[in-house]
Amino acid sequence: MHPDFSIDGRHKGFPLAAGPVRASQLAERGWNVLADDLAYPLAVIRRSALEHNVRWMQAYARDRRIVLAPHGKTTMSPQLFDLQLRGGAWGLTFATIHQLSVGLEAGLRRAIIANQVVAPADLDGLDVLLDRHQDLRVWFLVDSIAQLHCIEDWARMRGSRRVFDVLLEVGIPGQRTGVRTRDDALALARAIGASASVRLGGIECYEGGLAQCDSAHDVPAVTELVRRVIRIAAECDALGLLPAEDPILSAGGSAIFDLVVPLLQGAGLKRPFLGVLRSGCYVTHDQGNYRRLLRLIEQRAGLRDSLQAALEVWAMVQSVPEPGLALLTCGRRDISHDQEMPSVQRWAPRGVQAAQDAPASWKIDALNDQHAYLRFDPARDGPAVGDRVALGISHPCTTFDKWRWMAVVDDAWTVVDAIETRF
């Protein structure tokens, strides 16, 4: 995985006694997590699961005649962006202009900023990137005439003739950004069409806020959103407000992405649209919230094969101060905890270079900044000081942003590569 980068003792988890190394040369060290060659805690990505997920999601999109623009905010890793693009992704999605600039290091040439761009400094930045990369196409979201005025004011202040590509965002009452009504959407589409500073490329929505991990709720709620967006797209097209070629329909978080496929396929529209799916967390998946949501997708879509959890954080048992409690060298600074506590996945006794499934009764019930509280049944065998424990996560985004690098390992936990993050 490229681009290459250097790792040294300034990176958490890298052994201070070792000299700096390029990621491309890391495999030559022969390090193994379970040989205690690296420091704990250590975030690792299993290569086999990672590559499976990239292939699986690309095939999922291809089989449904849509394209994939994975959300880069999940990992902010140029190496993973490169992997996704080489795997067939149409482009990438970002939330900010800074994130877009990182994506360009991986050779990106098409991107969606799934967010409103308003600030003059951000418009300056996008203008510079578009000048620097003449073959780059970027679409960002517009959801109000007030935002449109901000863009036009920027153009006047800068004396710029730049025409930005935009998508009209349709929102959900009480939730995130996006126009709330059909009338507002059509008024905004007309205003965009009359502006010299922007060019309307298509229609966008975000359905993830509707997810309740309950198909009885999620299916009708997203279906109603899909119908509303389709109606707005059809009216904008009938008014001649969308491009003659490849108008975009875009949606898709990581929770209920199957339910927006009819929208992305342009169901009921009179001509082809380009359906762009923006899911991001699939690349490493998780062992918590997204795992539960994926099971429902599997049921709804009749899938026999799906995503695998690729990311985990290894920690060492540093203290067993009382029966039933072990303290691990991993805390809030190291692992996701915004949705739920980490789960105990694997266990390797001290001195043993092999991992086994952890007992189902082992639970993490609290985190400090640098400690995890592992509870176990004191009447049974528990972990001992020096044992290693692999923790699974819920919501990969907030584990990635705690690490400047992550080791990529094979199925024997030998380090074969690395990725960096650029938050």
Residue 410's CB is within 10 A of a number of other CB atoms, namely 14
Which two structure tokens, joined as six digits, stand for 45? 């990505």
What pLDDT score was predicted for residue 421?
A: 98
What pLDDT score was predicted for residue 2?
A: 73
Enter the DSSP assignment of 283.
Answer: G
Which two structure tokens, joined as six digits, stand for 122? 């951000």
State yes or no: cis peptide before 262, omega within 30 of 0: no
What pLDDT score was predicted for residue 1?
A: 62
What sign does the CA torsion over 10, 14, 16, 19 have? negative
Distance separating the N- and C-terminal Cα atoms of the chain: 19
Which two structure tokens, joined as six digits, stand for 226? 């899909």
Q: Which H or E element spans position 147? A: helix 145-158
Ordered per-residue pLDDT tens for the chain, 423 residues? 678 999 999 999 999 999 999 999 999 999 999 999 999 999 999 999 999 999 999 999 999 999 999 999 999 999 999 999 999 999 999 999 999 999 999 999 999 999 999 999 999 999 999 999 999 999 999 999 999 999 999 999 999 999 999 999 999 999 999 999 999 999 999 999 999 999 999 999 999 999 999 999 999 999 999 999 999 999 999 999 999 999 999 999 999 999 999 999 999 999 999 999 999 999 999 999 999 999 999 999 999 899 999 999 999 999 999 999 999 999 999 999 999 999 999 999 999 999 999 999 999 999 999 999 999 999 988 999 999 999 999 999 999 999 999 999 999 999 999 999 999
Whether the CB-CB separation of 151 and 123 falls below 8 Å is answered with: yes
Whether the CB-CB separation of 64 and 261 falls below 8 Å is answered with: yes
State yes or no: cis peptide before 41, omega within 30 of 0: yes
Residue 165's CB is within 10 A of a number of other CB atoms, namely 18
Going by C-alpha positions, the residue among 320, 304, 330 that lies closest to residue 393 is 330
C-alpha gyration radius of the chain: 23
Which two structure tokens, joined as six digits, stand for 265? 């396929």
Whether the CB-CB separation of 367 and 338 falls below 8 Å is answered with: no
Amino acid residing at 175? Q
What is the C-alpha separation between 211 and 192, in angstroms, rounded?
31
Residue 170's CB is within 10 A of a number of other CB atoms, namely 26
What is the C-alpha separation between 308 and 368, in angstroms, rounded?
28
What pLDDT score was predicted for residue 28?
A: 97
β-pair type (372-375, 325-328): antiparallel
Task: Name the H helices within 182-319.
Answer: 182-194, 215-238, 261-264, 289-301
Task: Name the H helices within 286-346.
Answer: 289-301
Greatest Cα-to-Cα distance within the chain, rounded to the nearest angstrom: 75
Give the phi and the psi of residue 204 in degrees, each rounded to 5. Answer: -135, 150
This prediction has a pTM of 0.96
What pLDDT score was predicted for residue 338?
A: 96
